[in-house]
Amino acid sequence: MTLSVRDLTVTYRNRPAIHGVEFEAPSGSVTGVIGPNGAGKSTILKAVMGLLRPDSGTIMIDGRPFEEMRRSVSYLPQRLALDWDYPAQVREVVAMGRYPHRRFGRRPSAADRMAVSDALKRVGLTELATRQIGELSGGQQQRMLLARALAQEASTLLLDEPFVGIDAATVALLTGLLIDLATDGACVVVVNHDLATTSTMCTYAVLLNQRVITQGPIDAVLTSDWLDQTYATRFVDLESSS
Amino acid sequence: MTQPTLAVIFDPLVQYGFMRTGLAAAVTVGLTSAVLSCLLVVRHQALLGDAISHAVLLGVAVGYLFAESAGVFWGALVVAVLSGMLITYIERHSPVKLDAAMGIIFTGAFALGLAVISITKPRGIDLIHILFGNVLGVALEDLILTMVSGFGVLAIVIVRFRAFHLWSFDPLMAKALGMRIALLEYLLIGMLSATIVAALQAVGLILVIAMLVTPGATALLLTTRLRTMMLVAALIGVLAATGGLYLSFYLDVASGPAIVLLATAAFILAFLFAPRRGVVARVVQRRRQARRVLTEDLLKTLFNAEDPHAMMSMAETDGWLLSRSAGRRELQQLQRAGLVQLNTDGGARLSAAGREEALRMIRTHRLIERYAYDADGIPLPELHDIAERLEHEIDPVGLRDIDRLLGEPTVDPHGHPIPPVGGGLQRIAGRTLSDWPIKDVGQVAMIGDDRKDLMERMVELGILPDRAVTVIRRSDDDLIVRIGNHDLLHVSRELADRVYVIPASDSAQA
């Protein structure tokens, strides 16, 4: 599953958030999207998922239009965007990942139940399956969200800042799982402001500051030259157009 | 006893047709609005019902203008749906947020409705009945409309439950999966409108607002799943409707207010007495927690007294050990729980069960320290206080989770062994730095964490687990030591008492 983005431009209140973004996130690798605050990292993910309307852009997965592949894509929102007082138990939320697999009006199949228990097991939440979601720690909540994506059996995963406010042990567990998924052929894209986790987890990176500065294998692009360009540059033409 | 009770319930139904239709209408409205209230509450849209129901007055006025009584229902329905859609439209297509959009539309439509009524002065409209309901005046045709819309709404909620569930928890995911969000939004507004219009007769426009919030909010306090929340809310709605109707019949209270008051009473009861989230439950839990802290700290202290090498902290527990009577009472409670044995002269020792419990506490404390140090990067001197607080709060499942995440560590950051589940404390053959033979090269095994100031000093001087240490000279008050192969250091005896040293191994860090 290779995700390719062509000519993606998104405008917020007449001000370009990202401009002419083109990149490829190859299957079998964890791709990090790196850039300073306001670089448009989360905007890219949201535009790819169709959560906000781009001015232009084509999104393809394995050469097919994104819309056809939508149900095999999983998006993990920022943890704090969700209401953790919502009346739901851990297993139920993970089972939401099965939504695209279930037929209207049918009871969950054996495959559905298996996928949910497997996902819970892989993130180590089996014993917490009947907890109310608000009783989980931040790290456990993030693991639950990844379990939901696992239950969805998504082949493309887009994660928006999954490591914010999460302890190092959970980060290690999550990055391990993401690397495993990529090794099994999935395309994993992680928006992340922390360079340290990016460099340990990602094999591929896209450096972004409203435009793509560079992209490629992690060792080739995580150099001080490229990073300086990404973090220092502000595009005058974009700034002045507001 | 049974005879008169049944009579109280059934006589009105048998004797009066209006009670039968009234009860059927009230129960249908109570049930439907309660189920919808759950969706509104979890979507933080509780006031959407408020907005639409106010706007409905306009529909009532206009409908009557066109077709008298026959027009009221359809006028109300059309305006309800339109106002709901208008609110959503404004929210989606302007920077105005939902709350403001609702405020504008509902006051505007309500005012227009009042204006129309005051100009046309329709004879057939009793404003009081429209606003506050008159369930005992429900006609059979009204009842049929109410039931059709009510059961239609319930059927939609049941059939589309999974979609509503996912959408209300994570709208972004719903959208990302390509679900038709707009359809769900308008479906909800349609159901809401139908319910409000159906409730016109039973509770009236103003009071239906309560039925679209209170049962759901009450059920939220009592349940942890949307499904059960809806069932509990439905039960509350039905009981309030039924009870309110009888109150109205026997006490001559207006039916709408009676129904709403019962629902409000249910909320107050749940707010105070809900098993986990109620006010009382939380107070009880805090008390129980305070007692547990006391018990657990006492067990640790006793363990420590029996086993000085455990090097546990006594600082926090000193305070209440001094207060003899409290300590005594607490000890007797522990004896009753089988955790300690007391002898006649006031001495106490841990029973086997008490030892086990104390070891569990030590394990918890040290695992939390390990976690806070490794995973959260908390500095050494802070660890003890954090663990001292969290060790009483974490549950066994959470602890197991931490243990696995950390890869089942065997020592804490201060070098103290972490006892395995159900196991004892590993012995470490060594001495404190104060007693360590002069010139012998030793290795720091563990450092005591009960004094934050001394711990800070140790970190500063680099007296940390695994470091090589040699005592050069010793006096009554202080020692001169060498840590690794650095310069000589002065350390107080107080500090040296808290450093536990074993013979140096190859792993000792210079």
Mean pLDDT of A72-82: 90
DSSP state of A196: H
Q: How many CB atoms lie within 10 A of CB B336?
A: 9
User: Is residue A73's pLDDT more than 70?
Assistant: yes
Express each pLDDT in A98-115 by its tens digit: 998 887 777 888 899 999
Structure tokens at B103: 């405020």
CB–CB contact A167 B177 (8 Å): no
| Domain boundaries A3-240, CATH class | alpha beta
pLDDT on residue A239: 43
Q: Give how far B410 is from chain A: nearest CA, Å.
A: 16
pLDDT reported for residue B355: 85
Residue pLDDT, tens place only, B40-72 = 999 998 888 888 999 999 998 898 888 877 788
Instruction: Kindly report the average pLDDT of chain A as a whole number.
Output: 87
Q: Do B170 and A100 touch (CB under 8 A)?
A: no
Whether B141 shows a pLDDT value over 70: the answer reads yes
pLDDT at A153 over 90: yes
Contact between chains at A99 and B225 (C-beta distance less than 8 A): no
Question: Is the model's pLDDT at A240 over the cut of 60?
Answer: no
**Given this model, what pLDDT does residue B324 score?**
44
The per-residue pLDDT for range B154-179, each reduced to its tens digit, is 999 999 999 999 999 999 999 999 89
pLDDT of residue B507: 66
- B193-204 pLDDT tens trace: 999 988 887 778
Contact B274, B222 (CB under 8 A): yes
Q: Which of A43-47, A66-70, B229-233, B293-297 has the lowest mean pLDDT?
A: B293-297
Beta strands B499-503 and B431-432: pairing type?
antiparallel
Domains and CATH numbers, chain B: 12-273 (1.10.3470.10), 286-405 (1.10.10.10), 431-503 (2.30.30.90)
Higher pLDDT, B417 or B3: B417
Highest mean pLDDT among A131-145, B124-138, B386-400, B477-491: A131-145
Mean pLDDT of B269-291: 90
The tens digit of pLDDT for each residue in B363-383 reads 999 999 998 888 777 888 888
- B175 and A51 within 8 Å at the Cβ level: the answer is yes
Q: Do B42 and A87 touch (CB under 8 A)?
A: yes
User: What ipTM score was computed for the predicted complex, to two decimals?
Assistant: 0.90
Which residue among B224, B375, B376 places its CB closest to the CB of A132? B224
Q: Which residues of A130-166 are buried (b: 16+ CB within 10 A; e: fewer)?
A: ebbbebbbebbbbbbbbbbbbbbbbbbbbbbbbbeeb
Per-position b or e across A179-195, b if 16+ CB within 10 A of its CB = bebbeeebbbbbbbbee
* Contact flag A96-B376 (C-beta cutoff 8 Å): no
Interchain CB contact of A167 with B (< 8 Å): yes
pLDDT of residue B407: 86
CB contact A149 to B (< 8 Å): no
A80 reaches B (C-beta below 8 A) = no
Q: Do A137 and B398 touch (CB under 8 A)?
A: yes
Give how far B176 is from chain A: nearest CA, Å: 6
Segment B429-486, tens digit of pLDDT: 888 888 899 888 899 988 888 788 888 989 888 898 889 999 998 888 889 999 887 7
How far is residue A43's CA from residue A161's CA, in Å, rounded to a whole number?
A: 12
Closest residue in chain A to residue B161, using alpha carbons only: A105
- C-beta atoms of B374 and A169 within 8 A: yes
What's the pLDDT score for residue A230?
Answer: 84
- Using a CB-CB distance cutoff of 8 angstroms, which residues of chain A are in contact with residue B401? 124, 127-128, 140
DSSP state of B467: B
- Asked whether the beta carbons of residue A51 and residue B44 sit closer than 8 angstroms, the reply is no
Which residue in chain B has the smallest CA separation from A99? B162
CA distance A165 to A172: 14
Q: Please give the pLDDT value at position A120.
A: 95
CA B498 centroid distance within chain: 41
Chain A positions in Cβ-Cβ contact with residue B369 (cut-off 8 Å) = none
pLDDT tens per residue across span B203-214: 788 888 889 999
A96: contact with B, CB 8 A cutoff: yes
How far apart are the C-alpha atoms of A179 and A164, rounded to whole Å?
Answer: 19
Those residues of chain B whose CB sits closer than 8 Å to some CB in chain A are: 42, 44, 159, 162, 165-166, 168-170, 172-173, 175-178, 220, 223-226, 228-229, 371, 374-377, 397-398, 400-402, 404-406
Q: In 3D, which of B106, B108, B88, B86 has the Cα closest to residue B98? A: B88
Integer Cα distance of B489 and B485 in angstroms: 11
Shortest distance between the Cα of A1 and any Cα of chain B, in A, equals 17
Pairs of CB atoms within 8 A across A/B: 92
A127 contacts in chain B (CB < 8 Å) = 397, 400-401
The predicted structure's pLDDT at residue A170: 85
Minimum-distance CB partner of B173 among A67, A75, A170:
A75
Answer whether residue B189 shows pLDDT above 60: yes
Considering CB atoms only, which of B159, B223, B406 is closest to A87? B223
Q: Is the pLDDT of residue A93 over 70?
A: yes
Asked whether the beta carbons of residue A49 and residue B176 sit closer than 8 angstroms, the reply is yes
Q: State the best of B161, B224, B395, B404 to mutate against chain A, taking most chain A CBs within 10 Å.
A: B224
CB contact under 8 A, B175 and A49: yes
Lowest mean pLDDT among A130-139, A151-160, B70-79: B70-79
pLDDT tens sequence across B308-362: 544 433 333 433 343 344 567 777 888 888 888 777 666 677 888 888 888 888 8
**pLDDT tier for residue A123 given thresholds of 50, 70 and 90:** very high
Burial class of B9 by CB neighbour count within 10 A (0 to 12, 13 to 18, 19+): exposed
Instruction: Tell me whether residues A102 and B162 touch, CB distance under 8 A.
Output: yes
pLDDT at B316: 36
| Residue of A70, A82, A90, A96 to mutate when probing chain B, most B C-beta within 10 A | A96
Q: Phi-psi category of B114—alpha, beta or left, where left has phi over 0 and alpha has psi -120 to 50?
A: alpha
- Residue A114 in contact with partner chain B when CB distance is under 8 A: no
Considering only alpha carbons, which residue of chain A is nearest residue B397?
A: A127
* Residue A216 vs residue B67, higher pLDDT: A216
For residue A13, the chain B residue with the least C-alpha distance is: B95
Predicted pLDDT of residue B319:
35
pLDDT at B508: 67
Q: In Å, how far are A4, A19, A28, A179, B506 from A23, measured between CA atoms?
A: 6, 12, 16, 20, 52
Q: According to the model, what pLDDT value does residue B314 have?
A: 36
Provide DSSP, A14-83: TEEEEEEEEEEE-TTSEEEEE--TTSSHHHHHHHHHTSS--SEEEEEETTEEHHHHGGGEEEE--GGGS-
Cα–Cα distance measured from residue B116 to residue B60, given in angstroms and rounded to the nearest whole number: 10
A106–chain B Cβ distance below 8 A for any pair: no
Reading phi first (left if > 0) and then psi (alpha if -120 to 50, else beta), residue B263 is in alpha
- Mutation for testing the B interface, residue in A98, A99, A177 having most B CBs under 10 Å: A99
pLDDT recorded at residue B297: 80
- Tokens (6 digits) for B59: 């529909």
pLDDT in the model for residue A50: 85
Q: What is the DSSP string of B263-321?
A: HHHHHHHHHHH-TTTSHHHHHHHHHHHHHHHHHHHHHHHHHHHH-GGG----HHHHHHH
Question: pLDDT above 70 covers what percent of chain A?
Answer: 95
Q: Is A82 on the interface with B (CB under 8 A)?
A: yes
Between strands A3-12 and A187-191, the pairing is unpaired
